[in-house]
Structure 1
Amino acid sequence: MSIEETPVAPAPAVPDPAVFAEEWESWHRERDARLADPHGWLAITALHWLSDEPQTFSGAPGRWSTGPEGVVVELDAGTELVVGSETVRGRHLFGVVPERGGVDAVWEDTVIEVAKRGGHDVIRPRHPGHPARTAFTGTPAYAPDPRWVVEGRYEVFEAPRPTTVGASVEGLRHVYDAPGRVVFRLDGREFALTAFNGHAPGTLTVLFTDATSGVTTYAANRSLAVDVSGPGDAVVLDFNRAVNLPCAYTDFATCPLPPAENRLPVAVEAGERIPRERGPVGGPSE
């Protein structure tokens, strides 16, 4: 998967507590609304890996395969998909899907995502009636606290560093170009986190774990968006907006794991916590 897109909102240097909490609540509601979209991450019913042998899969019509020309589906008579603005029947060639790219094909009320992850072509049906979506009641999170808004600096590498990381799917690897790192202080200690390019221009994505991981926050990873569009190298890290990646909610995601150097030895008691769907969440602040 691509690194989860999250909105970036710069925090004020000395935020008014009431305004700070209100802005965070609005942001958090928007996050949950995107998760609960009828064809969002919670609607995925399966992750199917394609091969050169045509195969049928639950939740998707036709027979699917991949080869030198890319992903192909062979639809049964009377079955059709809508790809972009085109209605397709019979044999349809999606072509070569770029790494971390994807194409959506609509079949009745299901959206079938055709994608490439870690060099492998996959399809993921997304159905609005999937129980993971219909039962979703929101993501637990720590109460917003301005103390977790910290200043830092962005150090650009001389050249982007290709960085290989693991994935939430065993055996899969992702490679990202790291343009630099973010340096900051917590509890009197200095830390540095390798950063990847964000979705929006002028933003970075930082994947990390900390001492809360596997205890009150999701074990594998969390993500933080950092705005670097301002002048100079000064940045703000608002850990209140540390978010779960899709793999925290579904086993059908292929999320990247943090680089080894991004494992913080301190407890970042801020941001999103373990989803209720993944088990009990301890502590009083949800």
Structure 2
Amino acid sequence: MTTSTTPIDAFAAEWQEWHHEHEARLSGPHGFLAITSLRWLGDEPARFPDAPGTWSTGDEGVTVVLDDGEELVVEGAPVRGRYAFGVIPERVGVNAVWGDAVIEVAKRGGHDILRPRHPDTPLRTGFNGTPAYTPHPRWRVTGRYQTFARPKPTTVGAAVEGLEHVYNAPGRIDFELDGQALSLTAFPGHGPDSLIVLFTDATSGVTTYPANRVLQVPPPDADGFVTLDFNRATNLPCAYTDLATCPLPPAENRLPIAIEAGEQIPYERR
């Protein structure tokens, strides 16, 4: 007896492989689930139980003073005593290795922060995956990318109360779903010419995380068309931990329809 693979079966198999890789990054030894604390650095030197040294920040950026016997490895080189990370740009981070842990030094919302990541944290070791809707091609749609005349500074809130993020939105994506014309403001993605969209929809707070979901969008083609595969809408780290500073979607990205695709509320938040 022979069996045949349907297009939907192949689509689901491809999605499953992608989702497995996504979860592996999230739950890696130094992924977001390994974060043990979120420290806001100031000009007053401070020590923390889950990181070595005494930390502070000022006009010249982040500085750590390591005690005798303490060592960090930064960009492959061991450092001891006083070490200056310098001024770290917004949404950039530096990882300093400390034994089997990584100390993330970053800037978020204009503030220098420290986020130690330890592989043995219970949130990571107890991770059992993220529930998601059954993937289906109907949630994979084509949109038209419209570039703004100039990038539009867009201020959005954050998972941390009182914090704001500012993105230079390069354009918007117009698309149609279930016969309804919709639009999403896009922010710069992680790769050249790629985009991301932060959004909520009618499932938010019901079956999906209430604050936000994110969708990675490949670069537009030569005619300005992009693919929106909502099956690959994922949670941001704040869906799993309160130790994240994730941005919230701009007001215009609150979709009035139910996007019953992509990741759902994590088990950790249920």
TM-score, normalising length from structure 1? Answer: 0.91
Letter in 2 for 1:65: S
84, 87, 93: which one pairs with 1:102?
Answer: 93
Alpha-carbon distance, 1:202 to partner: 2.7
Structure 2 distance, partners of 1:201, 1:277, is 34
71, 88, 100: which one pairs with 1:80?
Answer: 71
149, 152, 163: which one pairs with 2:140?
Answer: 149
Q: Mark the runs of 5 or more structure 2 residues left unpaired by the alignment.
A: 1-5
228, 246, 251: which one pairs with 1:260?
Answer: 251
C-alpha RMSD of matched pairs (Å): 1.0
SS at match of 1:25: helix
83, 91, 110: which one pairs with 1:92?
Answer: 83
Residues 1-286 of structure 1 aligned to structure 2 (within 5 Å):
16-279=7-270
Range with greater deviation from structure 2 (248-257 or 45-54): 248-257
CA contact (8 A) 1:226 1:237 kept: yes
Structure 1 distance, partners of 2:183, 2:221, is 20
Alpha-carbon distance, 1:258 to partner: 0.3
SS at match of 1:61: coil
Higher RCO (CA-CA < 8 Å; seq separation 6+): 1
CA contact (8 A) 1:154 1:228 kept: no
Structure 1 distance, partners of 2:71, 2:185, is 45
CA contact (8 A) 1:247 1:254 kept: yes
SS at match of 1:31: helix
Alpha-carbon distance, 1:70 to partner: 0.7
Letter in 1 for 2:164: R
SS at match of 2:138: helix
Alpha-carbon distance, 1:193 to partner: 0.6
Structure 2 distance, partners of 1:117, 1:235, is 29
Structure 2 distance, partners of 1:168, 1:92, is 31
Structure 2 distance, partners of 1:127, 1:72, is 21
SS at match of 2:52: strand
Identical aligned residues as a percent:
67
> What corresponds to 2:3 in structure 1?
none
Deviations 1:217-258 (A, max 9, x none): 011100111123421022221110111111111111111100
Structure 1 distance, partners of 2:48, 2:69, is 18
SS at match of 1:207: strand
Structure 2 distance, partners of 1:151, 1:69, is 46
Alpha-carbon distance, 1:149 to partner: 1.0
Structure 2 distance, partners of 1:226, 1:88, is 39
SS at match of 1:199: coil
Alpha-carbon distance, 1:173 to partner: 0.5
Deviations 1:167-221 (A, max 9, x none): 1110000000101000111121101110011111131100000010011001110
Structure 1's consecutive aligned runs of 4 or more residues displaced over 2 angstroms after TM superposition are: none
Structure 1 distance, partners of 2:50, 2:84, is 19
Structure 2 distance, partners of 1:180, 1:106, is 38
Alpha-carbon distance, 1:91 to partner: 1.1
Alpha-carbon distance, 1:264 to partner: 0.5
Structure 2 distance, partners of 1:71, 1:129, is 27
Range with greater deviation from structure 2 (38-47 or 247-256): 247-256
CA contact (8 A) 2:145 2:220 kept: no
